[in-house]
């Protein structure tokens, strides 16, 4: 059999993306908006969990998980929003994860 995976990271902010192994490195501008996308083309649809610095992400007025977990939106980026973000998509057939290292520059 065959197995293939594709990851799509969608970002709305001036930035640069560098792929380091399975971790993406993103540089974003303070005050902007960042949208991260987790792969979700699995059948059955997976359960998606977002983490920040390896702890479950806490949503608030600026950080929201949208579309059943597929997107993580962070508004009004600040230096404190930098760090490692990851999503894990799990269904009956297995799981996959994506890690993104975010740096915020003023």
DSSP string, 71-103: EEEE-S--GGG-EEEEEEEEETTEEEEEEEEEE
Predicted TM-score (pTM) above 0.85: no
Q: What is the pLDDT of residue 10?
A: 52
pLDDT at 4: 66
> What domains are there in the chain, each with its CATH number?
24-104 (2.60.40.10)
Ranges of residues in the chain whose predicted pLDDT is under 70: 4-22, 40
pLDDT per position as a tens digit, 11-39: 444 444 455 556 788 888 999 999 998 87
């Amino acid at each position: 059999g065959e197995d293939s995976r594709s990851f799509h990271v969608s970002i709305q902010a001036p930035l640069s993306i560098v792929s380091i192994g399975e971790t993406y490195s993103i540089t974003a501008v303070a005050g902007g908006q960042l949208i991260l996308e987790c792969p979700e083309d699995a059948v059955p649809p997976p359960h998606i969990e977002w983490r920040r610095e390896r702890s479950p992400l806490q949503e608030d007025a600026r950080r929201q998980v949208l579309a059943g977990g597929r997107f993580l939106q962070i508004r009004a980026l600040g230096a404190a929003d930098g760090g490692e973000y990851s999503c894990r998509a799990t269904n009956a057939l297995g799981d996959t994860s994506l890690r993104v290292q975010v740096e915020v520059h003023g």
